[in-house]
Chains A and B, each alone.
Chain A
């Protein structure tokens, strides 16, 4: 074992035996009587025990390839129309459903992107594991249960015995993905196809799941096909990489070669667009002027709590402490970022600022105190605060022309004549880099990035002082994300807008934020300028977040992270009690850190 640690996993066993080889695979979809290829003439081999990454942006055909190997293409429209997938001595494409059933789960297993929806909600975890085992091995229910428990232990899930009788909704996303991995690896398959296995997970959970996959692979010698859009994940996990675009392979090679000396222009562009940590901390931020600009939003000890009712009379028994005693200012013309993992309360703060959820404490936007405003006052606030959401398709009415959607805020606030509004919409389109003629089209005629530009144009329509970007670039491909971030930056300079930028992606935040606050369980644990937080992170949670980000550099050596699989504590407290409030101490230059220990250390 000690000798094997220095060489890549899998190299210890027969190094060049292909366990799976794909030859000339073409997958096509039939639509309107014509066949259109989704994957074209794809060939690659997977060696025993290696990790091969298939990287690409949306529409590159990477997921379709994995479904084709598994024989799970959605019939009848999509089918593998040419090529072979050789596994052992058989061609999987010619095997038929009965033959594939013996392969699936047993010899080739698969885990999917969405742990929240990939487990059956009405079956216990144990039943789903046992079922997979008993499908392929003639064992009793008790034996299968024992094996299921062993599988759960191997994925380092907390309290594995208890999990067997729980239902998926009782587990967090990270735990569910562990269950999926346990299920996939319980039968020790030769090949594991992992389709964006950590994309839906928080960054610290992603770190743990990636570590887990790597350890299990080393122990079992499973070959992994890792499908991902995240070049950081590729650099950390893979030995070889295939870069795909529009259904075709662009480039393939060893991970060091792809990242070090990419040959194709597309690969170079893709790598250039990846946001990287470490660029931002030293980059000068906004010029620190002595006259601090007036804040566009000011929060002073703001709480947001949601009631949970119970008992005979439906009285409030518990409260979700979503936001607890949060204070910060957003100054005119700055980008203030809120970072933290899911459930930390960052989106709830955004909603409170937009007046969409009730709050306690002092919350002031553009000089107006939100509390106690009448309907007219709330409407006025909404002129100054606009939002851009994560999913631009869901944020646009599919039956409304996009020009009308952009002009709608003007209609609501009774601004301008119809001609003026139309001219304004066309002008806004030009501002966000879309042709003004596009106002006549419908949302489905645009790509994801273009749709997000439309949402930004709509947010700009009322000349707001503050735009809240709630994960606004998270759903976009990296190259598109880079362009949208550039657009936001340009608009900020042009109009002097302030952004509240909410994101889970530390690399993006480091590239765009002037100041930021790190949130954990409804409270701010650290706040300061970009240079302060990324150059000198003080709170352990901030450090954990920064260290967990996958680095798009195969040469990067990661410090061994402590194996934590603890779950985030619950923000639900009985009425009358609440979480322990953290005190923020200034350790110099407006760099605030929670906890007095950190403050003392810094002062010493």
Chain B
């Protein structure tokens, strides 16, 4: 177990190093010039060169990347070109909001997706099942900004149940979380439905029924834990998809998270922030996957981590 964890953490470190290298390289070859952004349109060629030299952007790629890595080893994510602040500080201030939103999103997609999936499986072939599966298609294919705006219009503008935007209270969290979770809930309901249908056909379900157990107990105690096993691995992968969603949802709801930070940084070619957000996201994805793998043995005793 300890050996497994150590091996996974070493692998995680190598993955993050790879992500850093690839992202850094892509930003290096990017035609957009950050120095122009900083200096402004009217700056003289000399000013531009001065700034370029100051930031070390006139150095060869390997030197730049080496400097960046050296900073990373001391926990320094670099300095924003435009905001004149440490990237670490900027991200640290906004990360809690994003993590909260992500937790809300995962909660929504699991509750909505798994519940509807189980219901569809139990009523397989019925009009309800077909309706839910059409709904899940709509959920998967609807663009998140459309869903967000629609929810805002109905529940914030028309019904006035939730605030339009803002951060700080539970009611602020509801609409962004639902928006973020609805896409995944479409996936999860479909996966859960087919997984549940498979499990309900299993021999041990027949055994459970032959014992005289009631339907509720057969479904909740025997079928559900088995049906949910293939879903757990998905949750880890999901965090990656969420990172994309967060950028959109945070803009729609004015949520002060790293998604907005990243969006602004991309528009202004603020490379240190883009790098920082990318690395933090990659870390979240790697840790999320590790966490999903660590949880599995608690639900499925057949799985041993080694």
Binding site for B on A (CB under 8 A): 70, 72, 97, 100-106, 109-110, 112, 114, 117-123, 131-132, 135-136, 167, 169, 180, 183, 309-312, 314
* Residues of A with C-beta under 8 A to B207: 112, 118-120, 180, 183
- Chain A residue numbers with a CB within 8 Å of B208 are 120
B195 CB to closest chain A CB (Å) equals: 14
Q: How far is the CA of A114 from the CA of B208 in the complex (A)?
A: 14
> Of B3, B203, B221, B301, which is within 8 A of A310 by CB?
B3
Please tell me if B211 contacts chain A, counting CB pairs below 8 Å. yes
Q: Mark out the residues of chain B between 181 and 216 whose CB falls within 8 Å of any chain A CB in the assembled complex.
A: 202-204, 206-215
The residues of B with any CB-CB pair to A shorter than 8 Å are 3, 6-7, 202-204, 206-215, 217, 221-222, 225-226, 229, 299-302, 306
Chain A residues, Cβ within 8 Å of B221: 123, 131
Residues of A within 8 A of B226 (CB): 120-122
Q: A117-B203, A117-B204 are in contact. Are A312 and B210 (CB under 8 A)?
A: no
Chain B interface, DSSP helix/strand/loop, else mixed: helix
Contact of A112 among B203, B222, B225 (CB under 8 A): B203
Judge whether A118 and B206 touch: CB under 8 Å. Answer: yes
Which of B212, B213, B222 has its CB near the most chain A CB atoms (within 10 A)? B212
Number of A-B contacts (CB under 8 A): 81
Q: A119 — which chain B residues lie within 8 A by C-beta?
A: 204, 207
The reply to whether A120 and B222 form a contact with Cβ atoms under 8 Å apart is yes
Name the 7 nearest CB pairs between A and B, nearest first: A105-B212, A104-B212, A105-B211, A117-B203, A167-B301, A132-B211, A312-B3
- A131: chain B residues within 8 A (beta carbon): 211, 213, 217, 221
Q: CA separation between A102 and B7, bound complex, in Å?
A: 52
Return B204 CB to nearest CB of chain A, in Å.
4
Shortest distance in angstroms between A108's beta carbon and chain B's nearest beta carbon?
9
Contacting pair B206 A101 (CB below 8 A) = no
Complex Cα spacing A13 to B208, Å: 32
Q: Identify 14 residue pairs between A and B in the complex whose beta-carbon atoms are under 8 Å apart, listed by A's number.
A: A72-B209, A105-B211, A106-B212, A120-B204, A121-B301, A121-B302, A122-B300, A123-B221, A131-B217, A135-B212, A136-B212, A169-B301, A183-B207, A312-B6
A110–B211 CA distance with the chains assembled, in angstroms = 8
Residues of A within 8 Å of B213, CB to CB, are 101, 105, 131-132, 135
CA distance A101 to B208 in the complex (A): 11
Instruction: Chain A residues near B214: list those with CB within 8 A.
Output: 101, 135
Could you tell me the distance between the alpha carbons of A100 and B7 in the complex, rounded to whole angstroms?
53
* Bound CA–CA A121/B223 (angstroms): 11
By beta carbon, the residue of chain B nearest A74 is: B201
Q: Roughly how many angstroms separate A180 CA and B204 CA in the complex, as a whole number? A: 11
Task: Output the nearest chain B residue to A180 by Cβ-Cβ distance.
Answer: B207
A117-B203, A120-B226, A132-B211 known; 5 other A-B pairs, CB under 8 Å? A70-B210, A72-B206, A101-B214, A122-B229, A309-B306
Cα distance, A118 to B3, chains bound together (Å) = 34
A104 and B209 form a contact (CB under 8 A): yes
Q: Which residues of B contact A97 (CB under 8 A)?
A: 215
Nearest residue, chain B, Cβ from A136: B212
Once the chains are docked, how many angstroms separate the CA of A102 from the CA of B211? 9
Q: What is the distance, in angstroms, from B219's C-beta to the closest C-beta of chain A?
A: 13
Known: A121-B300, A121-B301. A112 touches B206 (CB 8 A): yes
Given A169-B302, A310-B3, A102 and B204 contact (CB-CB distance below 8 Å): no
Cα of A72 to Cα of B6 in the assembled complex, Å = 49
Which residue of A is nearest B206, CB measured? A72
Cα distance, A27 to B225, chains bound together (Å): 33
Closest to A67 in B: B206
> Which residues of chain B have C-beta atoms less than 8 A from A120's C-beta?
204, 207-208, 222, 226
